Amino acid sequence: MGVELHITRAEFWADNETAAISPDEWLAYVATDPELALQPEFGRHFKGHVIWTGPSKYEEPWLHWSQGNISTKWPDTALYRKMLRVASALHAHVQDDDGRAYTSEHDWSFDPTERRP
């Protein structure tokens, strides 16, 4: 099981019928952001899957559009901060599966290279 963070416009990410980020809006944003690389090889069901080329601890840090939200699992600190910038540009916010909001660069910190007890 893992932590999933979502860029969403909804009060609660899973209830976003009236506040969805459209796939066209996401793809238009991706086209303007030189740090995001669309991954078309994942096929039509993953047309909103992108790799972030910024300074991440992960080899291929990713963001994925699905059902009106943009999500990733266990983002490292750098990818989380990128999510905050993307959310701001899309007039959205970041929250976890439980609906907890993440608004500050200091709200989330994770280094996947560190061992956890």
Whole-number Cα distances in Å, 107 to 23, 96, 112: 27, 11, 17
Indicate the pTM of the whole model. Answer: 0.90
Whole-angstrom distance, CA of residue 56 vs CA of residue 52: 8
Structural domain spans, the chain: 1-34+62-92
Whole-angstrom distance, CA of residue 55 vs CA of residue 67: 28
Contact present, 58 and 11 (Cβ < 8 Å) = no
Pairing of strands 36-38, 49-52: antiparallel
**62-117 pLDDT per residue, tens:** 999 999 999 999 999 999 999 999 999 999 999 999 999 999 999 999 998 886 64
Whole-angstrom distance, CA of residue 104 vs CA of residue 108: 8
Q: Calculate mean pLDDT across residues 2-16.
A: 94
The type of residue at 103 is T
